[in-house]
Structures are given as structure tokens and as C-alpha cells.
């Protein structure tokens, strides 16, 4: 079973954005009991696929965490496009 590409892409974009801020990704990992090594590999683009359950858990944590919700930018939405 694979996760829908659109939410997966949103997750990747969010993790990449979080990775740019010192300690934010590590704190997110600890707060939500997620493996930091997996988050870092996704953020760096080293992991092209992620287990469905892990991806669901990451997306759920991103959606409920007020500190990181600003990184949940859906590039498919017109208001988030630049140009």
C-alpha cells in the first residue's frame, strides 16, 4: 500500500523547511516519538519512499503541532503558489 503522493509531498516539504531551523526537527522528533534519523533522511531527500504507517504518523503529528503548522504548505493550492 502506498500513500497518496500529494500528502507525501506536503510532508517532505514541511520536513525540509523544519530542517533549516536548528533543533526544530530534533525537538519535533522527541515531542512526537518519531525516529529522528528517518525524519532527517526524508528532509535531505535521501529517502524516496517511507512506510505507509510511518508517513501517516508524521503527517498526523505535523497537522496537530501548532509550532510547525506553518511548514505545512500545500504547493498544489493556488494561494501557496509563487510567480
- The per-residue pLDDT for 4 is 56
Find the DSSP H helices in the chain: 5-19, 24-31, 36-43, 52-64
- The per-residue pLDDT for 80 is 46
Report the C-alpha gap between 21 and 16 in whole angstroms.
Answer: 10
The per-residue pLDDT for range 11-58, each reduced to its tens digit, is: 888 898 899 887 899 999 999 999 999 999 998 888 777 788 888 999
Grid cell 534519523 in the structure block, residue: 37
Kindly indicate the confidence band of residue 81, based on its pLDDT and cuts at 50, 70 and 90. very low
- The per-residue pLDDT for 74 is 53
Mean pLDDT on 55-68: 89
- Dig out the grid coordinates for 36 from the structure: 529522528
- Return the domain boundaries, the chain: 5-75
Contact 44, 19 (CB under 8 A): yes
Report the C-alpha gap between 32 and 62 in whole angstroms.
Answer: 9
Amino acid at each position: 500500500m502506498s500513500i497518496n503522493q500529494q500528502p507525501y509531498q506536503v510532508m517532505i516539504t514541511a520536513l525540509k523547511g523544519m530542517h533549516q531551523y536548528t533543533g526544530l526537527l530534533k525537538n519535533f522528533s522527541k515531542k512526537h516519538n518519531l525516529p529522528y534519523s528517518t525524519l532527517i533522511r526524508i528532509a535531505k531527500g535521501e529517502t524516496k519512499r517511507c512506510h505507509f504507517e510511518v508517513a501517516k504518523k508524521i503527517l498526523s503529528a505535523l497537522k496537530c503541532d501548532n509550532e510547525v503548522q506553518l511548514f505545512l504548505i500545500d504547493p498544489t493550492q493556488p494561494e501557496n503558489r509563487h510567480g
